Structure 1
């Protein structure tokens, strides 16, 4: 039969004839269907193409196979996707369940329910978080039980906004307890200072007169030329001890003496500079101590200049005496957040936190012959000037005393 092929067929036919090699057509259609044809040239002994063998393949079968393959792949992907969704949902449920429990626990704690316990436990990071959460709630429960017990002991009445609950209310109660405790400590300290002041006044007046008489006679004996050098040294030692006793009595009287000075504006730079000049030689000769001054700007506080000098002198001498093997005493004057900071830092023996907390109390001193009255008076005078003293100390490295006063510029 005569076959009239399409354009694709004859194009491939001519290519196979000219190139003398097998040619595969692309998919084409004719009146008999959809085909793919392989054309293979046949040559004679001289290499001339004498015929072309064509083999037709029904392309519709390939399309059917492709459709079946696409359908199979779609079904496989659907099954795989569904499996992944199921596994992911299971994993998320397993992950979100302990997270949800943790969120519920946090909400309970925020409402003041500290007895909540999380049940999820394993060796994962999430299990570790649950364990730490349970430890935290247990400690919070113990803390606020102690707060409630302290509240009952101090007979504290709290009138808070009822809209507050949980931790906010507990923290408010804790602040009230801390404030009342601070006020009680201040009251106790004031009562103690008053008692010590009254005792100091009565004792000092009773002792000062006989001591004056004794010291006068000792000074007369010191002028006696018939005494030996040994006897004169004894008398000189007794006079020195009498002077030290008078200094202690003077400190006691400072506690009992009311503040009758008229407060004025004090130039802190002038006070510090004059005291450093005064103590530099004493410090160098005492323990080979160098005093460094870091003060350039004039700053003013309100109070008594004599009392400020007394405060600074006490603290600076204590710092010098704390450096038994030499060192450096640094004195600085700064302004921070609208307040005047006078900082006195030594490189001496330092103090423990317990020793720092006891500073300023009566009869407590780290010096061998100290009474603690000088520093106690300093604390009292600083409070009268509406200031405060902050102490930082490290045993073996030194101490830093910071006097903080309101600034008046």
Structure 2
């Protein structure tokens, strides 16, 4: 919080008065000490009185300064005290001139210190007042000396030259001109210094605000920001950068950027842009989009980066959708053309089987024809479902019941492995809003893939919770995992690593989830397992 202007003025005035008191002591000690030295060693140069007067003067000046210092913390009206001190110095200067020879004294210039002090502390008005006071007192001293009312202490008991009126007027005129000229010039300089100081203070406040604004922008911007010195060491990391990378600033301070980002080549000149995979502190891989630019201010470089993992996932989904659309149109046409001959083959075989009778030796071959035709028909049905999926008939149903029913049907599948342990963590109250038949097919495909990925047994963990208005279902296994080189192809149509697979299972899963306005995410580490996460609409 900024201080009140009056408080700032008092603070500045108090500081100036402290300097004034220090200057008074220095000048008095130096000038009068030098005078005492000259009087002792070079008596013939000046007509001085006894040293007692000088010692008394010095002692009184010290005493007066001590009193001023004591009153400085007591008096609230510091401006009045400034006038009192400076005018008091004018009186002291007049006394000094009186005890050191009057018109013959060399100390009339000391008035100028008081004039300058008044101009610097009290500005033009104060300078002119002190200049006038100096003229009046000096003129009064000259008049009293001219008319013989006062005889300077340094002349008592000795002969001295009597000057005429012209000399006195000349001496007074020259000093008066000097007093007012110095008052005007020094007050002008003081006023300009005051204006410059006020301008600097205003700009200082502006710079403080700009610095605070800059700090807020840097700390609150969503992009990560790193500053690098000339040697490529990290000197700054903002809050967004800490969140993206998973590291605190103090953990990366003065670390080489090549150690944290091995794919960055700082030897390249100019701006550097790119994308790369970064492993966070918790081991999670993310996609980083980054830009590195030279910085003239810090003499190094500035790196701006963002987590573009979701953007990459969206790009993959768009590419996958485009592939699905193209292949789907082709599959639909082929499926329709294949389905008609299959129907004819099945029908003809049934007729032949009835006409030849049950004891015919060709019956096993006909059964094979019918069974394979039925399998081919199911495959064609999958093609048609993939190319032109049915719209989901949505309803609200308990998720846990659907999972248990799907697991029950899975146990009757020939690929079921008795060594697989199933763990289900789903609240009884959790419900889904969707087509239960289509979602059963989704879970059956995911569960079957998980079991097939654990030929020697393992754990199939199924969990669900309500997060941010969505139902999040996770299917996790401890199987073989998905190799990195094929991870991006698992949802592609007809892509399979299984001997008898059609390559449509996960494709249809992806399509069903998409038609339910949901999301599917796959995380896998080779030889450590796979986790598939579905995010579906909550009935609430």
Q: Report the TM-score range of the alignment, normalised by the length of the smaller protein.
A: 0.5 to 0.7
Equivalence for 2:406:
275
Q: Displacement, 1:227? A: 3.3
Equivalence for 1:377:
508
Q: Displacement, 1:372? A: 1.5
Q: Displacement, 1:362? A: 1.1
Equivalence for 2:418:
288
- Which of these residues, 118, 126, 147, is aligned with residue 274 of structure 2? 147
Equivalence for 2:230:
116
Alignment pair present for 1:314 and 2:428: no
CA distance in 1, matches of 2:319, 2:423: 38
Alignment pair present for 1:227 and 2:357: no
Alignment pair present for 1:132 and 2:256: yes
Deviates more, 1:178-187 or 1:346-355: 178-187
CA distance in 2, matches of 1:378, 1:227: 44
Unaligned runs of 5+ in 1: 1-109, 120-128, 149-164
Deviations 1:290-312 (A, max 9, x none): 54433342222332222111111
Q: Displacement, 1:167? A: 8.4
- Which of these residues, 245, 249, 270, is aligned with residue 376 of structure 2? 245
Deviations 1:38-97 (A, max 9, x none): xxxxxxxxxxxxxxxxxxxxxxxxxxxxxxxxxxxxxxxxxxxxxxxxxxxxxxxxxxxx
Does the C-alpha gap of structure 1 residues 218 and 169 become closer, same or farther in structure 2, counting only changes over 3 Å?
Answer: same
Q: Is the 8 A contact 1:351 1:395 kept in 2?
A: yes
The CA RMSD measured in Å over matched residues stands at: 4.0
CA distance in 2, matches of 1:400, 1:221: 51
Give the alignment's TM-score, normalised by structure 1.
Answer: 0.55
Q: Is the 8 A contact 1:116 1:137 kept in 2?
A: no
Q: Is the 8 A contact 1:299 1:408 kept in 2?
A: no
CA distance in 2, matches of 1:299, 1:216: 47
Q: Is the 8 A contact 1:329 1:344 kept in 2?
A: yes
Q: Displacement, 1:279? A: 2.3
Q: Displacement, 1:221? A: 4.5
Does the C-alpha gap of structure 1 residues 344 and 236 become closer, same or farther in structure 2, counting only changes over 3 Å?
Answer: farther
Secondary structure at 2:256 match in 1: helix
Equivalence for 1:389:
520
Equivalence for 1:202:
333
Alignment pair present for 1:170 and 2:300: no
Q: Is the 8 A contact 2:482 2:530 kept in 1?
A: yes
Q: Displacement, 1:265? A: 2.8
Q: Displacement, 1:258? A: 5.0
Q: Is the 8 A contact 1:330 1:346 kept in 2?
A: yes
Does the C-alpha gap of structure 1 residues 183 and 226 become closer, same or farther in structure 2, counting only changes over 3 Å?
Answer: same
Provide the aligned length of Structure 1 versus Structure 2.
272
Does the C-alpha gap of structure 1 residues 273 and 354 become closer, same or farther in structure 2, counting only changes over 3 Å?
Answer: same
Q: Displacement, 1:275? A: 1.5
- Which of these residues, 257, 269, 275, is aligned with residue 388 of structure 2? 257
Q: Displacement, 1:269? A: 1.9
Q: Is the 8 A contact 1:263 1:302 kept in 2?
A: yes
Secondary structure at 1:288 match in 2: coil
Unaligned runs of 5+ in 2: 1-223, 234-252, 276-297
Equivalence for 1:101:
none
Equivalence for 2:318:
187
Q: Displacement, 1:139? A: 5.1
- Which of these residues, 354, 365, 368, is aligned with residue 496 of structure 2? 365
Secondary structure at 2:492 match in 1: coil
Deviations 1:338-371 (A, max 9, x none): 4323233344443223333321111111211112
Q: Is the 8 A contact 2:225 2:304 kept in 1?
A: no
Equivalence for 2:27:
none
Secondary structure at 1:368 match in 2: coil
Alignment pair present for 1:332 and 2:466: no
Secondary structure at 1:147 match in 2: strand
CA distance in 2, matches of 1:391, 1:178: 13
Does the C-alpha gap of structure 1 residues 287 and 202 become closer, same or farther in structure 2, counting only changes over 3 Å?
Answer: same
Give the alignment's TM-score, normalised by structure 2.
Answer: 0.43
